[in-house]
């Protein structure tokens, strides 16, 4: 039986990029958000690269960006939205299932996403 929810094409492309995966993973561990600097350092990104990814995630309402002042210094805080957390959680579940299917295929076991696939190295 084919399970399209576990098919690699069902992975949400917004999240399926190494830098965004790192950003969202970091934000999952910080329920109150992270400062721009903390997030940049944890993800090993440049300011410009992080800004570009955050704009894309903010446009999709996955993250919320707050700009405040602490004393006379500006502070940018990035938080994962409730909807963003739900979407990212679904992405992680789908990714886990896709990886499990790939592992099964590598071991020549039946896959849940393709009833007609053949093991690697075999010919139909």
Quick: pLDDT tens for 11-41.
888 998 999 999 999 999 998 999 999 999 9
Contact 111, 2 (CB under 8 A): no
Read off the pLDDT of each residue in 114-123 and give the average, rounded to a whole number. Answer: 46
Question: Structural domain boundaries of the chain?
Answer: 4-106
Read off the pLDDT of each residue in 71-87 and give the average, rounded to a whole number. Answer: 96
CA atoms within 13 A on the CB side of 104: 16
Question: Is residue 1 pLDDT above 50, yes or no?
Answer: no
**Distance from first CA to last CA of the chain, Å, rounded?**
19
Residue 27 CA to residue 24 CA, distance in Å, equals 5
CA atoms within 13 A on the CB side of 82: 0
CA 15 to chain centre: 4
CA atoms within 13 A on the CB side of 39: 32
Q: Count CB-CB contacts under 10 A for residue 84.
A: 22
Fold classified for 4-106? Arc Repressor Mutant, subunit A (1.10.10)
Residue 38 CA to residue 56 CA, distance in Å, equals 19
Residue 67 CA to residue 48 CA, distance in Å, equals 17
């Amino acid at each position: 039986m084919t399970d399209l929810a576990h098919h690699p094409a069902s992975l949400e492309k917004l999240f399926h990029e190494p830098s965004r995966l790192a950003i969202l993973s970091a934000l999952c561990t910080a329920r109150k958000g992270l400062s721009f600097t903390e997030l940049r350092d944890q993800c090993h990104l440049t300011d410009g690269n992080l800004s570009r990814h955050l704009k894309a995630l903010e446009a999709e309402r996955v993250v919320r960006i707050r700009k405040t002042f602490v004393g006379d210094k500006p502070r940018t805080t990035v938080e994962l939205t409730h909807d963003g957390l739900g979407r990212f959680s679904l992405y992680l579940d789908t990714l886990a299932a896709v990886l499990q299917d790939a592992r099964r295929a590598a071991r020549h076991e039946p896959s849940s996403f393709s009833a007609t696939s053949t093991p690697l190295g075999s010919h139909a």
